[in-house]
Amino acid sequence: MRRFSFHKGHGTQNDFIILDDSYGMHDMHPEFIKTMCDRRSGIGADGVIRVVRASSVREWTGEPSVWFMDYYNADGTTAEMCGNGLRVFARHLINEQLVDTGSFDVATRAGLKHVDVARHGLIRTDVGAATLVDEAVTVGLGEREWPAVKVDVGNPHAVVFVDDGELADLDLTRQPGWAPQDAYPNGVNVEFVHVDGPGKLSMRVHERGVGETKSCGTGVVAAAAAYRARTGFDSTIEVTVPGGELAVDFDGDDACLTGPAVIIGRGEFWL
Ligand SMILES: N[C@@H](CCC[C@H](N)C(=O)O)C(=O)O
């Protein structure tokens, strides 16, 4: 039997298993990830974050002394970025004294991201560019179909604006479809967004590699970028997700995401 120590944390109830692996010794096999993330027979989580030195990550060619957020979805696939995961990763580094200050860089598959401990224990992360792609895409769910805004936040997103009352009624146990198929050759995270008022959005999300989650940080950034492009709104955008509240600020096309990050405990997993 193998034993793994883990921590568990969440950011607006988007929950993650955290594995410390400084020197990159763990075999992050998809079956291992799926087993841990299973909510009945495993620990249960939307994803796994491995904490590894960037110098131990073969594909990382940047600054070697930083920590690398090695993120996996619950189905064992990798993703380029995870906005909520980045804050939880940062909280873990701070708690475990793996960083000296509350302001540092983290390596991700989508590049280097800066993290700051903000007021009231919140964490602010520079997510980087949220790029709107000028391509006509649609999203379908059952009989319904909507035009969507294609947004690249390092990972792929389709943002759909829905009418009053529609958001609560969506059945996101189903996988949304999209067209054209080749708009998202590697799958997509789909955000359904309602505009509650100026600068205030509500959102539900179906995450690639997971299903419906209580929150998606990069999805919140994608929704805010799509809203800003359509309205010209130029201040902080507050987004309510089923798991809590997040705030997005823009500096040009670059987005900052601010929100909570909590470590709930630690344990040992036997396999
Ligand atoms: N929950 C995340 C996004 C995780 C990755 C996503 N499912 C993907 O495959 O791109 C977030 O907070 O951004």
Mean pLDDT of 256-270: 97
Contacts (Cβ under 8 Å, ≥6 apart) of 233: 198, 199, 227
Are 237 and 222 in contact, with CB atoms under 8 Å apart?
Answer: no
Per domain, the residue ranges of the chain are 3-127+260-270, 129-255
Ligand 1 pocket by C-beta < 6 Å: which residues?
A: 14, 73, 79, 82-85, 155, 189, 207-210, 216-218
Mean pLDDT of 32-60: 97
pLDDT score for 271: 87
Centre of ligand 1 from the C-alpha of residue 1, in Å? 31
- The residue to mutate among 81, 91, 150, 213, having the most atoms of ligand 1 within 8 angstroms of its beta carbon, is 81
Fold of 129-255: Diaminopimelate Epimerase; Chain A, domain 1 (3.10.310)
Mean pLDDT of 119-146: 96
CA atoms of 219 and 214, how far apart (whole Å):
11
User: What interface predicted TM-score (ipTM) does this complex get?
Assistant: 0.98
Cis peptide preceding 260, ω within 30 of 0 = no
Residue 120 pLDDT > 90: no
Catalytic residue among 18, 33, 51, 82: 82
**Whether residue 82 lies in the annotated active site:** yes
User: Tens digits of per-residue pLDDT, 162-216?
Assistant: 998 999 999 999 999 999 999 999 999 999 999 999 999 999 999 999 999 999 9
Mean pLDDT of 56-63: 95
Mean pLDDT of 128-154: 97
Known binding positions: 14, 73, 83-84, 155, 189, 207-208, 217-218
pLDDT score for 211: 98
pLDDT score for 1: 87
DSSP 8-state assignment for residue 176 = P
User: Tens digits of per-residue pLDDT, 86-115?
Assistant: 999 999 999 999 999 999 999 999 999 999
| CATH 1.20.1440.230 describes domain 3-127+260-270 | no
* Ligand 1 atom 1: residue of nearest CA: 216
Centre of ligand 1 from the C-alpha of residue 244, in Å? 16
Residue 47 pLDDT > 90: yes
Catalytic residue among 45, 88, 130, 216: 216
Residue 119 pLDDT > 90: no
